[in-house]
Chain A
Amino acid sequence: MAPPQLVQLYRELQQVFTSGNLQQTGVLLTRLKIALTQAGLLVLLGNPDPQDLVIARDILEVGAFWSIRTKDIPSFDRYFSQLQTFYNDFSSVLPPSPREYPLRGLNLIRLLTQNRIADFHTTLESLPLRADALTGNPYIAHPINLEQWLMEGSYSKVWNAREEAPAEEYKFFVDSLMGTIRNEIASCEEAAYDSLPLKDAATLLFFKNQSEVLAFARERGWQVDLTAAKITFAKKTEEKVEIQKEKLILADLHYARELEQIV
């Protein structure tokens, strides 16, 4: 059984967390982590009681949410990897947690904002859900849709979906996601347009006013013609490509050697 002191602290944490006092939560979490380690529940030792495991899991979940609210992504990463033991290995022992899927979804979005698409897909595959049930789960469907839209280029859908986040915490990722999208769009525009009216650029990039566009344009080094209210993109000239002689020679020598072996 967990020491009474730990249970006491845990109750306190729940109260403080629901009241939304972030600073106090942080302090409590640190104390709880020490208590958990002493009780052998943080790094699991022996054969702990399921009841204790639920407490440990709850504390870690609160920690994960707290990390996102304080925008501390590395801390979220740590909490989440500790939680994975509870979600994957103890799934048969413990009652399912209502916060499991929101957290898994958050983790997916985190991977998406960090542009770790391969990890995103690996994580997606290892979810304990049937593939066609994935879209049925709102917490998981959200990152899946985002990824799909990002990949095919339906950026406006991503933009519109930012307010439809299934949980409050998802919005914390919106800002960095929007940054990613703007850069994506900008690089597309550079390639696809010769010139673009300022007003349209603002709508395309989801900016509310011109000054934001101008600041962004300066950042990316676009030429802005203020009198015509137009952005012109530096046309990529057909730069002379150097033929890499060394590479070609190496390749040819390699072919010669291989051919020698075959014949």
Chain B
Amino acid sequence: MTDVEMKPADEKREEKKTEEEKKPIPLTPVAEIKANAALIERAVATFEPRFTHRVLRSLTHLRKRLDDTVLRDAINETYPSDSPSKKAMLSWLPEATVEQSMDIDSTSQPPKQPQPEPVPEVEIYLRLLILHHLLTSQANYPKAMKLAHETIDKMQSLNRRSMDPIAAKVWYAVERTYELVGDLADARPHFLAAQRTAALRHDDETEASLINRILRSYLQYNLYDQADKLISKTSFPTAAGNPQHARYHYYLGRIKAVQLNYTAAHTNLQQAIRRAPPAKTAPGFYQAVHKLTIVVELLMGDIPERSLFRHPVLEKALAGYFEIVKAVRNGSLSQFQNTLSKYAAEFEADKTYTLIVRLRQNVIKTGIRRLSLSYSRISLRDICLKLHLDSEEDAEYIVGKAIRDGVIDGRIVHENGWMECGSQKGGYGPEVSDVFARRIAYCLELHNQSVKMSCACEMSRRANTCRSSPRVTLRFFVAMRYPLNAHRKELAAAEGAREREKELAKEIQEGGDLDDEGPDLGERF
């Protein structure tokens, strides 16, 4: 049901995105950086972090179009000629050759009138761009490292709240630098110290980013204990953006899965999927989360849906997992072992190998279950043959365990060496109501999370799209999947949007009043 309904929304989103992407093409990177600098100025002047957010949203695609000349020009044009920060920043870029600089002079006229010095946020932003640019070539890694440290020091000494969103991104770049240089572990003390500071300053964005950085660094080195302790000692800021939440939930899911707490892991992974950016925008994350989710689902005894493996983004990446799912579904140990050895390298790279090895017992259980459903009496010897077990003796123990664990309902008659399968239990009783209660709790949780998310989404959009009724958007969690940069034009309407936004927030708090949405309810669940 939800699938069908989500499709049109998805398509619309795609359209909007392509529209959006077509527009900025005429802008040269230099012009874009300049415009961004202006936006940051404005953000600082008006205490409006959303301008900064908009600037940072363009970071990903801007990053790909950077080169030395672009950066040099951008710095030259935003800063007055005798600014010390300008010189400091230019020193990170190679000297311009004469030919190039002539070129620049002819195309862009240097402003004649003396410019005021831009706010420090702009400098950090430009440094972030330089850092990303330096990371594109291996020769520049040492330089990037130095720049990263200098930038961190600068950021921390400035201590400006208006800088927080940029700072969060800088920390990401710092992590990337350390990782590319190859000693991610060395960065951990920096992150931990900065995380403490950020928490004290209520700098939510940076704190969220840093917690994720630290978790990632722990998991990279398989330090699950420490990661678990970190989680129990910190609280993830709820005001953080969806992408950070998605990452956090993914890491949580990983840790819980290792600790055999599959139900909790599954909940976290579901959250991660829901909060993640659309599949086409961030395919890597989408694939990684799904890989883990499939394994966890299997460990819980569920079989993932077939349609998942037909998803265009996932189909190829999940090939190995699909084979595993098939093996588990058939309860065939030999098929499982073959698949495991065939895709071992892949699973190892995904860090799911040890989790998949744990599936072995599930394969056996499924096998026994299938047998118990199809036979009313079967000899232990046949079970042993059918499931490729090593000995009849083992088969007896395994079947015994399966009966005790409630996988099957039956008895073993030892004297005759066979298993008798009992009839299926009736579908009523306290267990059933427990299962039902769990399901309802899950649905309610899903709904509440979605409301929260679309609410957060509204906040960040501050847009005037949902003119009709804010509740309409809140109602459906598809809403949260709108790309964040869907609206650029309403700079002027910002004030009005904020007003509406406040109303909206109020309405959410009041929990909404009764209206005629009753019949819809049935469809959603």
Binding site for B on A (CB under 8 A): 117-118, 121-122, 124-128, 130-132, 134, 148, 151-157, 184-185, 187-194, 196-197, 200, 204, 241, 243-244, 248, 251, 255, 258, 260-263
Within 8 A of A (CB), among B378-410: 389-391, 393-394, 396-404, 410
Q: Residues of B contacting A255 with CB < 8 Å? A: 440, 444
Of A243, A248, A258, chain B has the most CB atoms within 10 Å of the CB of A258
Q: Least Cβ distance of B378 to chain A in Å?
A: 14
In the complex, what residues of B have CB within 8 A of residue A156's CB? 391, 393-394, 397
Flag the segment in B100-108, B235-243, B457-465, B510-518 that touches A: B510-518
Nearest B residue to A151 via CB reads B361
Neighbouring B residues of A155 by C-beta, 8 Å: 394, 397
Kindly identify, within residues 441 to 486 of chain B, every residue whose CB is under 8 Å from any CB belonging to chain A.
444, 447-448
Taking A156-B397, A262-B447 as contacts, is the C-beta distance between A121 and B415 under 8 angstroms? Answer: no
B258 CB contacts on chain A under 8 angstroms: 121-122, 125
What is the CB-to-nearest-CB distance from A235 to chain B, in angstroms, rounded to a whole number?
10
Q: Does B521 contact A262, Cβ atoms closer than 8 Å?
A: yes
Given contacts A118-B260, A132-B353, A243-B430, contact A126 B403 (CB under 8 A): no
The docked-state distance in angstroms from the alpha carbon of A255 to that of B448 is 13
Give the shortest distance, in Å, between B434 (CB) and chain A (any CB).
9
Contact of A261 among B260, B389, B511 (CB under 8 A): B511
A-B contact pairs, 8 of them (CB 8 A): A121-B358, A122-B228, A131-B353, A153-B401, A192-B403, A193-B413, A204-B396, A260-B511
Residues of the B chain whose Cβ atoms lie less than 8 Å from the Cβ of A117: 260
Taking CB atoms, residues of chain B closer than 8 Å to A262 are 447, 521
Whether B411 lies near A192 (C-beta < 8 A) is: yes
CB distance from B410 to the nearest CB of A (A): 8
Pick from B364, B394, B447: contact of A157, CB under 8 Å: B394
A192 touches B404 (CB 8 A): yes
Asked if A154 and B414 sit within 8 Å, CB to CB, the answer is no
Question: Which residue in B344, B361, B448, B517 is a CB contact (below 8 Å) of A263?
Answer: B517
Among B259, B397, B429, contact of A153 (Cβ-Cβ < 8 Å): B397
Q: Does B150 contact A (CB under 8 A)?
A: no
- B394: chain A residues at CB < 8 Å are 153-157
The residue that A248 contacts in the complex, of B433, B440, B444, with Cβ under 8 A, is: B433
Residue of A nearest to B365 (CB): A152
Least Cβ–Cβ distance between B382 and chain A, in angstroms: 17
Partner of B429, one of A192, A241, A248: A241
Residues in chain A near residue B364, CB distance under 8 A: 152
CA distance A156 to B447 in the complex (A): 49
Q: A148-B357, A153-B402, A192-B412 are in contact. List 12 more A-B contacts (CB 8 A).
A: A121-B260, A131-B348, A131-B354, A152-B398, A153-B394, A155-B394, A157-B394, A188-B403, A188-B404, A190-B404, A191-B400, A261-B511
Contacts of B447 in A (CB 8 A): 258, 262
Looking at chain A's contact residues, the main secondary structure is helix
User: Does B495 have its Cβ within 8 Å of any Cβ on chain A?
Assistant: no
Q: How far is the CA of A255 from the CA of B411 in the complex (A)?
A: 40
Chain B contact residue count (CB 8 A cutoff): 54
Known: A118-B259, A121-B354. A189 touches B224 (CB 8 A): no
Q: Which residues of B contact A148 (CB under 8 A)?
A: 357, 360-361
Taking a contact as CB atoms under 8 Å apart, the answer to whether A122 and B259 are in contact is yes
Which residues does chain A contribute within 8 Å of B511, judged by CB atoms? Answer: 260-261
Determine if B222 and A126 form an interchain contact, defined as CB atoms under 8 angstroms apart.
Answer: yes
Within 8 Å by CB of A126, from B225, B353, B400, B518, lies B225
Q: Which residue of A lies closest to B515 (CB)?
A: A263
Contact A200 B222 (CB under 8 A): no
Residues in B neighbouring A248, C-beta threshold 8 A = 433
B261, CB-defined interface residue at 8 Å: yes
Task: Please indicate the chain A residues that have their CB under 8 angstroms from the CB of B9 in the complex.
Answer: none
From residue B30, how far is it (CB to closest CB) to chain A in Å?
45
Tell me the B483-525 residues at the A interface (CB within 8 Å). 511-512, 514, 517-518, 521
Chain B contacts of A134 at CB under 8 A?
354
Q: Is the CB of B437 within 8 A of A192?
A: no
Question: Cβ of A131: which chain B residues have Cβ within 8 Å of it?
Answer: 347-348, 351, 353-354, 357
Which residues of chain B have C-beta atoms less than 8 A from A130's C-beta? Answer: 348
B373 at the interface (CB under 8 A from A): no
Q: Tell me, in angstroms, the Cα distance from A152 to B336 when the chains sit together.
A: 15
The answer for the CA separation of A127 and B223 in the assembled complex, in Å, is 9
Q: Give the residue name and chain of the A residue nearest to B447 (CB).
A: A262
Per CB-CB distance, the 10 closest pairs between chain A and chain B, nearest first, are A153-B401, A188-B400, A131-B353, A191-B404, A192-B400, A153-B398, A192-B403, A152-B361, A126-B222, A154-B394
